[in-house]
A and B are shown apart, each in its own frame.
Chain A
C-alpha cells in the first residue's frame, strides 16, 4: 500500500478486528453502514482510512459513501483519538450559565482546542450540542461520566481522574 495518495493516513492497521466486526454483523448491506462505522470506531477508537477501504471491498458499499458518512456525522473521526474524550456542552442552559469560561479553562488545562488531541493521546477535546443535563449547567462529560455545575477552577481536578 505504498505511495498511496492518502499518504500517512494509510499507515498499516491490523485489519483482523475489522473482519471480526463484519463477521459479527453479517450480512452487512447499505442500511447497516452507520452501525458498521460505529462498531469499527468502538473497536479502533477511530475510523482508520485503510479500514474504510477494506470495508468497502468487503461489503460493496462505495468507499466514497463511507467517507461521506464519516465526515458528515460529528461522532466519527478519521484520525486517532485520545484515550479519553472530554466534551464541553454548548447547550443553551450551559451557554447562559457561563460555559464559555469553562471552555477557556479546559482549553488551557489541556493545551488544545476543540477538535484536537493532546500529544500524549491522553485526551481529545470536543464540544457537544447538549447532553441533556441542563439543570446542572454548565456541564462537562469525560467519556461517559457527567460533571455538573462545573467551576472553572475545578477543571484540573476533573481531568486528573483520567489516565
Chain B
C-alpha cells in the first residue's frame, strides 16, 4: 500500500478518522493480489507470492499492482489461495508457472482463467458466486484475508480501532458493559457464558488491580478459528481487548497463546508493537486518558491450560493445574485479583457490538445465542476451511451448503463438534439449527467451533477411543476421577477396538463416564467422557458390532478386519 504520511502517533478519534480516510482513498480501486500467507504456507504459498512479486517487477507494474501477504481466505481445500482485487476473483491451487498469465489476464484485464476457479468453473470466479462464500456471513472474519496482518495501516484503513475510538470517547465504561449485555454475546471458547455478565461480575469485585486475559490457547484438536483471527486480523482482537479493558477498567492485559502457533505469536507481537507506536495501546490511548497495555505469553504445551484457572496458574509460573470454582476468576483470578478471561473470537466480536449497539448485534442469531460463529470445517468434507455463519444455521447448511458435501459422494455419518469435550452429531440431526443450547440437547457442545466431518470410513468407536486417549494424556493429574477414570475408559475402548469387548463393558463405559463427569474438578474431566457418551447414545449399533459380532463396519479397527484386508487401513 502506498504510504500516506500517517506513521505518527494518532492522538484523538478525529485523528484516527482522518488517517483512515486518507488510507481508504489511497486504497480505492487498487489492483492487489492477496496471497494467503498463513495456512497456505504449508502448501507452497511463499513460492507463489515470491513469483507474483518478481513477475510484477519484471512487468514494470510495481507502482500499479500490490502483492499482499494476508491471512486465511477460508477456502483451504483449494490452497494455496489468492484473491485478486478489485475484481474480487478467487483463485485456488495456484502454481508458480502460471503466475505470469494471472498478472496479464486477471490482474490487469479482469479476465477469468478457468483452471484456477472453484470447481474449474468460470461461473464461480467471484466470491459472491461460490457457494462456499455465498452461504456465509463474514462479520468477525471480515478483514481476514483482506489485510496484511503485519501492517497496522491496512487494519486502520478497513476501520479497525474505530469502535475503540467510539467507546473511549463517547461511552462510559458501564455503558459499554450494558451494550455487551444487551448484545447477548456468549463466550466463544466453548462454555458460552454471557460475556457482559462476566464483565459486570468482575467490575463488582473490588481489587487492587483488575486484569484482562485473552485465551488464545486453542488446544482442541480440529479447531483453528482463533489461529486464523490472530494470524489474519490481530488488530481486531486487540481492539476488542482495548474496549473490554476500558469497560471493566482493567489495569493490565495478557494474551496467552499456544506456542504451537508460531505465526499467530509473531503477528500478535508485531500488532502490539505497532499499536503502541501509534498511540492505540499503552498510555493515554487516543488522547482519552485511558491507559492499557498487553503482554504476550506463550503456552508451553499443556491442553489443560485452556481451562481458565489452569491458565492463571500457568501465567503465575505454576504447573497448569486447575483449582475448584467458585471463586471464579472474575472474582479472584490472576494474582488473586478480579480477572476477565475471554476467548479470541469473543474479543473479536466486541467492536461489532460497539459499532451496531447491543440491540443491533442481537438481531442475528437465535433466541439464546446471538451473532455469528466461526467454525473450522475439516475431516471428510470437500471444502475444508474456515467458515462463519449466523447462530441457528443448520449442520446441513454448513456441511453441504458451504462444505460441498463428502468427497466421492460418500455417505455422511456424523460431525464431531466441540473436540475432546464435545460429541458426535449423527445424520438424523442434520437439520438441527446450531446454537449453544440445541447442541447440548443432542449430547454435543458448541465448543470452540471445530467441526470434523466423518463418513462411513470413520469408525465411531475408534474416534471415541481417540478422544479419551487424548484426555487421559492431557489430564493434569490433580483429581482422581479424571486422572484414573480417563485411562480406565481408554482401556475399555482399547479392548473393544481390539475385539475383546463385552456387553458389560458398554454399561461400565456409561457408569464410569458418569462418575468422571460428575466428580472431576475442572472442565477437562467434566467433559472428557462426552465423546464416549454421545457416541454410545447415537451409535450403539456400531459398538454392538464391535462387541457382539466382532466386526468394525468402517473397516478401521485392525484387529477386527478379515486377515487379508489387514493392510487396507
Contact = CB atoms under 8 A, between A and B. Distances in A.
Interface of A: 29-35, 37-38, 61, 68-69, 72-76, 90-93, 95-97, 100-101, 128-137, 139, 144-149
A149 B43 contact: yes
Interface in B487-538: none
Interface stretch (B60-68, B114-122, B220-228, B342-350): B220-228
A157 B470 CA distance: 30
A74 B259 CA distance: 11
Contacts of A69: 300, 317-319
A72 B77 contact: no
A93 B300 contact: no
Given A73-B320, A130-B220, A134-B376, A147 B261 contact: no
A96 B452 contact: yes
Given A37-B300, A135-B77, A136-B43, A68 B474 contact: no
12 contacts: A69-B318, A73-B319, A75-B299, A91-B221, A93-B221, A96-B379, A96-B380, A96-B452, A129-B474, A134-B376, A135-B385, A136-B79
A132 B218 contact: yes
A146 B76 CA distance: 14
B555 to A, nearest CB: 13
A61 B227 CA distance: 33
A30 B316 contact: yes
Query: Is chain B's interface secondary structure helix, strand, loop, or mixed overall?
Result: mixed
B223 A72 contact: no
Interface string B367-388: 0000000001111100011100
Given A73-B300, A92-B466, A135-B39, A130 B219 contact: yes
A30 B317 contact: yes
Interface in B231-282: 259-262
A44 B379 CA distance: 38
B229 to A, nearest CB: 11
B252 to A, nearest CB: 12
Interface of B: 39, 41-43, 76-77, 79, 218-224, 227, 259-262, 297-303, 314-320, 335, 376-380, 384-386, 416, 419, 450, 452, 454, 458, 463, 466-467, 470, 474, 476, 569
Contacts of A101: 569
B378 A137 contact: yes
Contacts of B299: 75
A129 B303 contact: yes
Given A31-B317, A130-B222, A134-B378, A92 B300 contact: no
Contacts of A72: 302, 319-320, 476
A90 B221 contact: yes
A34 B224 CA distance: 25
B79 A74 contact: no
A74 B297 contact: no
A64 B302 CA distance: 19
B50 to A, nearest CB: 15
Given A31-B317, A33-B317, A135 B378 contact: yes
A32 B379 contact: no
Contacts of A134: 221-224, 376, 378-379, 384, 450, 452
A156 B319 CA distance: 37
Nearest to B224: A132
Contact of B260 (A68, A132, A149): A132
B376 A75 contact: no
Nearest to A31: B317
Given A132-B260, A135-B79, A92 B221 contact: yes
Given A74-B302, A91-B221, A134-B222, A146 B41 contact: yes
A147 B221 CA distance: 17
Contact of A31 (B76, B302, B316, B458): B316
Contact of B300 (A31, A76, A136, A148): A76
B464 to A, nearest CB: 12
A76 B380 CA distance: 34
Contacts of A74: 300-302
A130 B314 contact: no
A92 B298 contact: no
A153 to B, nearest CB: 15
Nearest to A146: B42
A92 B77 CA distance: 17
Contacts of A32: 317
Contacts of B39: 133, 135-136, 146
